[in-house]
Amino acid sequence: MARESESGLPIEPVYGPADLTGWDPDRKLGEPGAYPFTRGVYPTMYTGRPWTMRQYAGFGTAAESNARYRQLIAHGITGLSVAFDLPTQMGHDSDAPLAHGEVGKVGVAVDSIEDMRVLFDGIPLDEVSTSMTINAPAAPLLLLYQLVAEEQGVPADRLTGTIQNDVLKEYIARGTYIFPPKPSLRLTADIFRYCAARMPRWNTISISGYHMAEAGASPAQEIAFTLADGIEYVRTAVAAGMDVDDFAPRLSFFFVARTTLLEEVAKFRAARRIWARVMREEFGARDPKSWMLRFHTQTAGVQLTAQQPEVNLVRVAVQALGAVLGGTQSLHTNSFDEAIALPTDKSARLALRTQQVLAYETDVPATVDPFAGSYAVERLTDETEAAALDLMRGVEDLGGAEAAIERGFQKAEIERNAYRIAQETDSGERVVVGVNRFRLDEEEPYAPLRVDPAIEQRQRERLAGLRAGRDQGAVDAALAALKRAAAGEENVLYPMKEALRERATVGEVCGALREVWGSHVPSDAF
């Protein structure tokens, strides 16, 4: 029976030399750490040191999340990854009417410098790398982090980490946007400039395909639309007067790892190759670091099941292995109970242990790019690359990522693929263990972690206390300066930082920008 990859490409039962006829290994492969980086962005990869082990965490209040971070550090993680609650992601304070019922539910509530201070209490910010999954309000959250570091005596040029800061994918797949695309891109360019001057070791954006994959994108769609977004960000920064080599080395990417291990390895290899060529040939980047596609990977949350949740441990192990074989720079492994609720302490620890077993008990990290030259993987790499390039040409034909988003192109393509997956699952053609085959007559009981509903009231009280104790005149003046900068051409991060220092809230800062830039209204025109 013929099989197809997740991208709809044929998978042959046997591959051999004939499948690589005309294949030039010197052009396609190269050496690890050398252009076009098919085999990895560093010469030694994991033989020198393992990937960064991050665990995405955050829930409830800043104090509760701080306790989880301390536990994870004690268990051996090498990088923090912060999940923010939905109001924070949308630029609303916890006491806003729209925040009701969502405070602390899918991440930690951070309204002001006081919350950020508690979130990282006792965690030396010059010793830990922190990734923050935040997009539209990335600028104020980054500046709050910098302000807290300054209070610790840590200068900005010693801070390492990443802000996701990828608002284009919000219009495509996730929906936590605030402003229209054009001012959002202007804000991204301001962040690039600010970090180049003030925070040179910080990764200024994590251009994300993960959320597109969670919305139903195929592997080819995931890398095509993600790289197209990356091209749009680079064009925006160059148009703003920046030299490509001044910011491109700090760009990073974020992809999913599915259970289809061979195709995922091929996907990562193809993405590196495409990006290297784009940066060198289209943008004329001269620094080899500008050609490197460095990426973080998260195992596929969309493939986790509430039925027989312990089976997710197996899924996550396979997904993590694919990410490592594909050459990821950092990795988050999902907890087995995430399809039910927030991870418990035990399940989060097991997820981390999965990475540690791969790093320290297997021989996978002992050699660089062990799949190099595999007939199957090299053929899949070429076919995935060709499919992704075809989709990228479709985006370019519409005028680039921003124009294609306005037309609804990427969203429509992803939704078509998601519908295909749903049909295959419903019909049983696509097997999901424990869901449409190998089911139990009765599921075993499971006690999930619950967020205390009183958190919202406590956050409201903290905000009331903050507003009562600050110099409101200074806050108003700082927010007015921010609005003037937003209406002109000044970099908004400098007045924004002063407003946050005066204890303006994230919601107030985003509200000031909304007054000038407006809010995005989605289009289903395509």
Mean pLDDT (whole number) for 388-398: 98
Mean pLDDT (whole number) for 12-39: 86
Model pLDDT for residues 338-385, shown as the tens digit of each residue: 999 888 889 999 999 999 999 999 999 999 999 999 999 999 999 999
Query: Which of the four pLDDT bands, split at 50, 70 and 90, describes residue 522?
Result: confident
Residue 11 lies in a domain: no
Percentage of the chain modeled with pLDDT above 70: 98
Query: Which of the four pLDDT bands, split at 50, 70 and 90, describes residue 141?
Result: very high
pTM of the model: 0.93
Mean pLDDT (whole number) for 8-31: 84
Query: Which pLDDT score, from 0 to 100, does residue 450 have?
Result: 78
Give the distance, in angstroms, between the CA of residue 43 and the centroid of all CA atoms in the same chain.
25
Model pLDDT for residues 488-513, shown as the tens digit of each residue: 999 999 999 999 999 999 999 999 99
DSSP assignment letter at 136: T
Between CA 75 and CA 82 the distance in angstroms is: 17
- DSSP H helices, 301-443, are 311-325, 345-360, 375-397, 401-407, 409-427
Query: Which of the four pLDDT bands, split at 50, 70 and 90, describes residue 79?
Result: confident
Mean pLDDT (whole number) for 419-423: 97
Model pLDDT for residues 81-137, shown as the tens digit of each residue: 999 999 999 999 999 999 999 999 989 999 999 999 999 999 999 999 999 999 999
Query: Which pLDDT score, from 0 to 100, does residue 342 have?
Result: 83
Residue 23 lies in a domain: no
Residue 351 lies in a domain: yes
Residue 27 has pLDDT above 70, yes or no: no
Model pLDDT for residues 430-473, shown as the tens digit of each residue: 999 999 999 999 888 887 777 788 999 999 999 999 999 999 99
Residue 439 lies in a domain: no
Residue 433 lies in a domain: no
Q: What CATH number is given to the structural domain containing 229?
A: 3.20.20.240
Cβ atoms of 144 and 113 within 8 Å: the answer is: yes
Model pLDDT for residues 145-204, shown as the tens digit of each residue: 999 999 999 999 999 999 999 999 999 998 999 999 999 999 999 999 999 999 999 999
Residue (of 222, 26, 95) closest to 511 by Cα position: 95
Residue 24 has pLDDT above 80, yes or no: no
Residue 56 has pLDDT above 90, yes or no: no
Query: Which pLDDT score, from 0 to 100, does residue 523 have?
Result: 67
Residue 379 lies in a domain: yes
Query: Which pLDDT score, from 0 to 100, does residue 526 have?
Result: 45
Residue (of 416, 451, 177) closest to 341 by Cα position: 451
Residue 118 lies in a domain: yes
Neighbours of 373 (CB within 10 A): 13
Residue 284 has pLDDT above 70, yes or no: yes
Query: Which pLDDT score, from 0 to 100, does residue 122 have?
Result: 95
Q: What Cα–Cα distance (Å) separates residue 414 from each residue in 173, 174, 331, 410?
A: 8, 12, 24, 6
Sequence length of the chain is 526
What residue type is assigned to position 168 of the chain? L
Model pLDDT for residues 223-275, shown as the tens digit of each residue: 999 999 999 999 999 999 999 999 999 999 999 999 999 999 999 999 999 99
Query: Which pLDDT score, from 0 to 100, does residue 218 have?
Result: 98
Query: Which pLDDT score, from 0 to 100, does residue 524 have?
Result: 59
Query: Which pLDDT score, from 0 to 100, does residue 451 have?
Result: 78
Q: Characterize the bridge pairing of strands 202-203 and 52-57.
A: unpaired
DSSP assignment letter at 429: S
Q: What domain range includes position 332?
A: 46-427
Residue 127 lies in a domain: yes
Query: Which pLDDT score, from 0 to 100, does residue 148 have?
Result: 98
Report how many domains make up the chain: 1
